C-alpha cells in the first residue's frame, strides 16, 4: 500500500509528467506511419516487409498492456514504470543508430516492451493514488492520447522531411528524463502477495500474436493458432488456482459490456484516423503535412473537451457522458459521410465533431471500470481494457484497409453524399452503425446500473 499520500501539488506534478511521457509514447506510434515509405527506400524493402515496423510494435505493445496491468497488482508501479521507460529509451537509441532492417525491428520490439508500461500504468495511477480526482485525470490522459494521435503525423512529416526518419527516435529517448520526477512523485508501495501464471501469460500472448497475424496479413495459420491457444488458455484458467485473468472478472456482464463498448468506440475512432489520410490524399490530393493539419483541429478540440469532460464525468457520472460521447461520434461520422468532397476546411470541422468523442469515451469508460473492478484487481482489469483498445486499432485498420481496396463503388448508403466519393461515404456510414451498436448495447445493460 502507499505510505506517502499525494499532496495536491504532487498530484498536479505527477499528472503533468504522465501527460508528457504519454505524449511521447502515443506520438511514437503515429509519427512512424508517415516514415514507412522512407524506411522502405533506406533498406530496399517490399511493402509486405516494411509493415513489420508497425506490426511488431503493435503486437508487443498489446500483449505488454495486459502483462503490465497484471504485474501492477503485485509489484510497485514506480518500479515497473522505471523499467518500462528505460526499455523504451533503450529501444529508441538502438533505432537511432540502426544500420539494417533486423536491427530496426529489434529496436521497435524493445521500445514496445517498455512503452507498453506507460498507457497501461497511466490509467492505473489515478485509480490507485487519486481516487477522488480520477475522473478529471482520466479526462486529461484521454485528451492527451487523442491530441498526440493527431500531432504524431505532423511531427513525423516535419522531422522526417527536414532530416532523416531515424531522428524520430530522439523524441522517445527524451522520455528517460521523466524517471527522476516519477520516482519522486509516485508514492512508495510494498510488493503485494500474488504470482503471475507464466504459462497462461504465454498462451494468451501467442493467441493475440496469432490474431494480429490473421488481421494484418490474412494468415489463416495465425487464426488457427489464435483459436488453439485461446482454447488452451480457457482450459488452464478453469483448472489452476491462481489464473492470469480471474474468470469472475469476465463473468460480470457490466465489466464485459463496458470493455466491449470501449472496444467498439475505439474501433470507430481508429477507423476514422486510418481512413481520413487515405481519403484526403485520394479526394483532395493533400500532402502529408496538409493531412496532419486536417486532423489538427479535431486533435486540439479533443484535448480541450477531454480535459473538461473529466470534470463532467465526476459531476454527472460515466453513464451520461458515455452516451453523449457516442452521440457525438455518430453525428461526426454522419457529417463526414455527407460532406466528403466539400472544401477541406468543412471536412476538418466534421472530423472535429467525431474526434472530440474519443477522449470522452476513454475517460468515462476508464472511470466506470474502476468502480466495477475490485481494488485488488484494478491492474489486470484496466490491462484488459487497454488490450482491447489496442486490438481495436489493429482490427479496424485491417477491416477498413481491405474495404478501401474496392473500386468502382456506386451504391450509396448515404443519399446526401456525392456518387464520386461513395466508397468513403459508405465507410463512415459503417462507423455510424458500429457506434449505434455500441450505444445500444451499453444503454440496455447499464440502464438499471448507473455506476458513476
According to DSSP, residue 281 is labeled I
Q: What percent of the chain has pLDDT over 90?
A: 16
Q: Scan for cell 452521440, then name that residue.
A: 327
For residues 296 and 350, the model is more confident at 350
Mean pLDDT is lowest, of 38-42, 217-221, 351-355, 377-381, for: 377-381
* Mean pLDDT on 394-409: 74
The average confidence (pLDDT) of the chain is 81
Per DSSP, the chain holds a count of helices (H) and strands (E) of 20, 0
Cα–Cα distances in angstroms (integers) from residue 434 to residues 267, 271, 396, in the given order: 8, 10, 11
- At residue 2, the pLDDT reads 46
Q: How confident is the model at residue 33 (pLDDT cuts 50, 70, 90)?
A: low
User: Does 94 have pLDDT greater than 90?
Assistant: yes
According to DSSP, residue 242 is labeled S
Distance (Å, whole) CA 121 – CA 3:
19
Distance (Å, whole) CA 338 – CA 353:
13
> What is the tens place of the pLDDT at every residue in 60-81?
887 787 788 878 888 888 899 9
User: Does 434 have pLDDT greater than 90?
Assistant: yes
pTM for the model stands at: 0.76
* Mean pLDDT on 163-188: 84
Amino acid at each position: 500500500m502507499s505510505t506517502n499520500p499525494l499532496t495536491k501539488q504532487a498530484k498536479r506534478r505527477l499528472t503533468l509528467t504522465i501527460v508528457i511521457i504519454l505524449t511521447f509514447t502515443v506520438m511514437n506510434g503515429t509519427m512512424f506511419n508517415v516514415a514507412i515509405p522512407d524506411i522502405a527506400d533506406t533498406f530496399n524493402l517490399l511493402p509486405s516487409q516494411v509493415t513489420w515496423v508497425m506490426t511488431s510494435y503493435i503486437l508487443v505493445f498489446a500483449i505488454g498492456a495486459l502483462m503490465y496491468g497484471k504485474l501492477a497488482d503485485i509489484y510497485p508501479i514506480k518500479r515497473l514504470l522505471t523499467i518500462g521507460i528505460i526499455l523504451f529509451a533503450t529501444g529508441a537509441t538502438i533505432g537511432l543508430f540502426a544500420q539494417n532492417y533486423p536491427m530496426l525491428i529489434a529496436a521497435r520490439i524493445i521500445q514496445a516492451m517498455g512503452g507498453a508500461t506507460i498507457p497501461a500504468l497511466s490509467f492505473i495511477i489515478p485509480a490507485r493514488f487519486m481516487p477522488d480526482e480520477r475522473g478529471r485525470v482520466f479526462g486529461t490522459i484521454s485528451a492527451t492520447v487523442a491530441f498526440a494521435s493527431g500531432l504524431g503525423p505532423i511531427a513525423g512529416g516535419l522531422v522526417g522531411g527536414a532530416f532523416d526518419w531515424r531522428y524520430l527516435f530522439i523524441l522517445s529517448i527524451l522520455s528517460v528524463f521523466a524517471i527522476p520526477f516519477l520516482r519522486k512523485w509516485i508514492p512508495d508501495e510494498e510488493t503485494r502477495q500474488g504470482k503471475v501464471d507464466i504459462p497462461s501469460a504465454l498462451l494468451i500472448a501467442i493467441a493475440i500474436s496469432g490474431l494480429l497475424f490473421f488481421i494484418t496479413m490474412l494468415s489463416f495459420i495465425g487464426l488457427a493458432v489464435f483459436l488453439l491457444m485461446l482454447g488452451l488458455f480457457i482450459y488452464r484458467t478453469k483448472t489452476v488456482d491462481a489464473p492470469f485473468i480471474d474468470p469472475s472478472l469476465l463473468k460480470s456482464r457490466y465489466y464485459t459490456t463496458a470493455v466491449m463498448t470501449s472496444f467498439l468506440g475505439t474501433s470507430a475512432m481508429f477507423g476514422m484516423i486510418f481512413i481520413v489520410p487515405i481519403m484526403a490524399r485520394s479526394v483532395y490530393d493533400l500532402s502529408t503535412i496538409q493531412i496532419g493539419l486536417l486532423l489538427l483541429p479535431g486533435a486540439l478540440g479533443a484535448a480541450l473537451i477531454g480535459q473538461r469532460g473529466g470534470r463532467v464525468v465526476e459531476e454527472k457520472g460515466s453513464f451520461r457522458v458515455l452516451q453523449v460521447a457516442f452521440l457525438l461520434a455518430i453525428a461526426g461520422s454522419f457529417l463526414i459521410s455527407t460532406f466528403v468532397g466539400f472544401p477541406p476546411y468543412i471536412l476538418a470541422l466534421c472530423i472535429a465533431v467525431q474526434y472530440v468523442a474519443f477522449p470522452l469515451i476513454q475517460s468515462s469508460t476508464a472511470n466506470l471500470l474502476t468502480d466495477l473492478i475490485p481494488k485488488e484487481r484494478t491492474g489486470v482489469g484496466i490491462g484488459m481494457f487497454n488490450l482491447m483498445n489496442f486490438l481495436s486499432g489493429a482490427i479496424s485498420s485491417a477491416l477498413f484497409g481491405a474495404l478501401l481496396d474496392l473500386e468502382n463503388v456506386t451504391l450509396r448508403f448515404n443519399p446526401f453524399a456525392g456518387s464520386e466519393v461513395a466508397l468513403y461515404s459508405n465507410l463512415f456510414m459503417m462507423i455510424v452503425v458500429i457506434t449505434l451498436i455500441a450505444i445500444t448495447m451499453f444503454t440496455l445493460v447499464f440502464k438499471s446500473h448507473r455506476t458513476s
